[in-house]
Chain A
């Protein structure tokens, strides 16, 4: 259910305005503006070092930005707006604000000392106080959804890369997020394992989850994205529906990039 198919547009979930981020003198984000609507799948493309990961990590405040604002719903992760003043949030407030945002990493980052099931229920039970029985039932449901029901008691290292990444997706879904962030989820995988992860992600996109996906997989952008954003040098260079940005890009740098990756 892409946003463009609807008669009245879905409400906006993510609002980024003039996001700036620098490491020392090195300006990585030079004013990013972005709106993502509920149910939309946005794919961010761009050359390595263009600031894609940094922008994703600013959304859930894994990185602090220096200027601008990002709102996810009414929440601004890392900050609390009270009586016309913006306060920096305390660590426990930040932890609570992250509840609605699931994240999937390039290197999976599963907890290697825990089984698949323990990985999935760790945050719901330990952080958000769900009952263990309910969280485990939901975890088994998610494992079925990513096609790994029989792996609940395996340790991550006993799984292939593609299976690990699908567990990582289930782990992120377990906190019942309204926004999912994917940072190059297939870049660490052997080529023959990329497909199974992309298929899982396509299912999620079709189910109406709001997703922001950084990837180099043009095929995924073409088939699953509602909108493609091309970043270069810390700026958004071009954005639009995949049929336009991928097929008939207007900016020469987009064209150069697409020529290289396809």
Chain B
């Protein structure tokens, strides 16, 4: 362009004339536009098929959506998820540290635990915990091969609630252990070396240096686990725990409105998982701090100075 030619005289054959990238436009992509239109149309049609379908009985869905027993079930599901996830993560962290420790006994125990709980179906584990009383009628704290210090009747301890919490948490711990272990070993070994050289104990190095960096790779699969867990809690309905699924089942056993009541459960499960997805992206952004390159954006193309 002649205007930015420093000499001021328009050159006849300037090969860069008009080639300023600031002037570039995107080519029209007809294929892409066509595909987008088709996909949108299909999606709208699907939505219409579901909304307009009498069999879904949307008025029944809305009737029950905020029913007190459904809300109660939702709270149980959320509560179970939170408690089981927190316990599972704490136990999983301990297992991961055991696995990575130099101690052969600790890492062997953790390995055995993970092998067992990942290798057996959740449903079987839940029923097993629920029926613990038939295996161990009494649970007690004893000195090994010595006297009993304190004991409880298993039937008193194991209610649907405790069986559900224990079952979900112990199973979750096995998966979280592997996720956390993978996260911990993804951190550069130079980090724990520096932490050690600066006088940190192993616990402090884990808490301040290693775990915050491991979070980058721990969070995404953990979000996955949490969402599986919310849906996984529906398994506890088999041991008569009144969660969300159990409460809609209780209703449709009376009213026979099976599909609309399952839709009530579906709506709530989707609602909760959507909120979790949003939360997860915020947490990921937090742990990505320090990973962004400079706050300084690449400079925009400066205006051409008048010659």
Residue ranges of A at the interface with B (Cβ–Cβ < 8 Å): 60, 62, 91-92, 95-96, 98-99, 101, 103, 105, 107, 109-115, 122-123, 126-128, 154-158, 171, 175
Q: Which residues of A contact B188 (CB under 8 A)?
A: 107, 109
Interfacial chain B residues near A96, Cβ < 8 Å: 199
Q: A91 contacts which of B193, B197, B201 (Cβ < 8 Å)?
A: B201
Among residues of A, the one whose C-beta sits closest to the C-beta of B194 is A109
* Cβ B193 vs Cβ A109 within 8 A: yes
CA distance A154 to B290 in the complex (A): 8
Which residues 113-150 of B have a CB within 8 angstroms of A? none
CB distance from A94 to the nearest CB of B (A): 8
Docked-complex contact B289 and A126, CB < 8 angstroms: no
In this assembly, does B200 line the interface, its C-beta being within 8 Å of a C-beta of chain A? yes
Residue with the greatest number of chain A CB neighbours at <10 A, chosen from B194, B212, B292: B194
By beta carbon, the residue of chain B nearest A127 is B199
Whether B198 pairs with A127 at a CB distance below 8 angstroms is yes
Contact A156 B198 (CB under 8 A): no
Asked if residues B290 and A123 are in contact (CB atoms below 8 Å), the reply is no
A103 to B292, CA, bound (A): 27
* A112 with B213: CB separation less than 8 A: yes
10 closest pairs, A vs B, by CB?
A109-B194, A155-B290, A123-B198, A109-B190, A95-B199, A103-B197, A98-B199, A127-B199, A158-B294, A113-B290
Whether B191 contacts A98 by the Cβ 8 Å rule is no
Q: Which residue of B lies closest to A95 (CB)?
A: B199
Report A-chain residues with C-beta under 8 Å of the C-beta of B294: 154, 158
Q: Cβ of B290 and Cβ of A114 under 8 Å apart?
A: yes
B200, B204, B291: the one within 8 Å of A112 (CB): B291
Q: Interface code B183-207, partner A: CB below 8 Å = 1, 0 otherwise?
A: 0000010110110111111101000
Contact (Cβ within 8 A) A92 B198: no
Which residues of B sit under 8 angstroms from A60, Cβ to Cβ? Answer: 197
CA separation between A262 and B294, bound complex, in Å? 37
A113/B212 in contact, CB under 8 A: yes
B100 to chain A, nearest CB (A): 16
B289 touches A155 (CB 8 A): yes
Contact residues in A for B198 (Cβ distance below 8 Å): 98, 103, 122-123, 127, 171, 175
Alpha-carbon distance between A233 and B230 when the two chains are bound, in angstroms = 60
Contact B290–A126 (Cβ < 8 Å): no
Known: A111-B209, A155-B289, A157-B291. A126 touches B204 (CB 8 A): yes
Rounded to whole angstroms, the CA-CA distance of A175 and B198 in the bound complex is 8
Q: Once bound together, how far apart are the Cα atoms of A109 and B190, in whole Å?
A: 6
Q: Is the CB of A107 within 8 A of B190?
A: yes
Whether B208 is near chain A, meaning CB under 8 Å from some CB there, is yes
**Given known A112-B290, A112-B291, contact A123–B193 (CB-CB < 8 A):** no
CB of B293 within 8 A of CB of A126, answer no
Query: Once the chains are docked, how many angstroms separate the CA of A112 from the CA of B208?
Result: 12
Having A123-B198, A158-B294, A171-B198, one finds 4 other A-B pairs with CB under 8 Å, namely: A96-B199, A103-B194, A112-B290, A157-B291
**What A residues does B201 contact at CB under 8 A?**
91-92, 95
A107: B residues at CB distance < 8 A: 188, 190
A134 to chain B, nearest CB (A): 18
Candidates A105, A127, A154, A155; contact of B194 at CB < 8 Å = A105
Contact A62 B196, beta carbon cutoff 8 Å: yes
Which of A91, A92, A109, A158 has a CB less than 8 Å from the CB of B191? Answer: A109
What residue in chain A is nearest B190 (Cβ atoms)?
A109
Q: Mark each residue of chain B from 280 to 297: 1 if its CB lies under 8 Å from any CB of chain A, else 0.
A: 000000010111111100
B212 partner residues in chain A, CB cutoff 8 A? 113
Complex Cα gap A104–B201 (Å): 19
Closest A residue to B197 using CB positions: A103
Q: Which of B193, B200, B204 contacts A105 (CB 8 A)?
A: B193
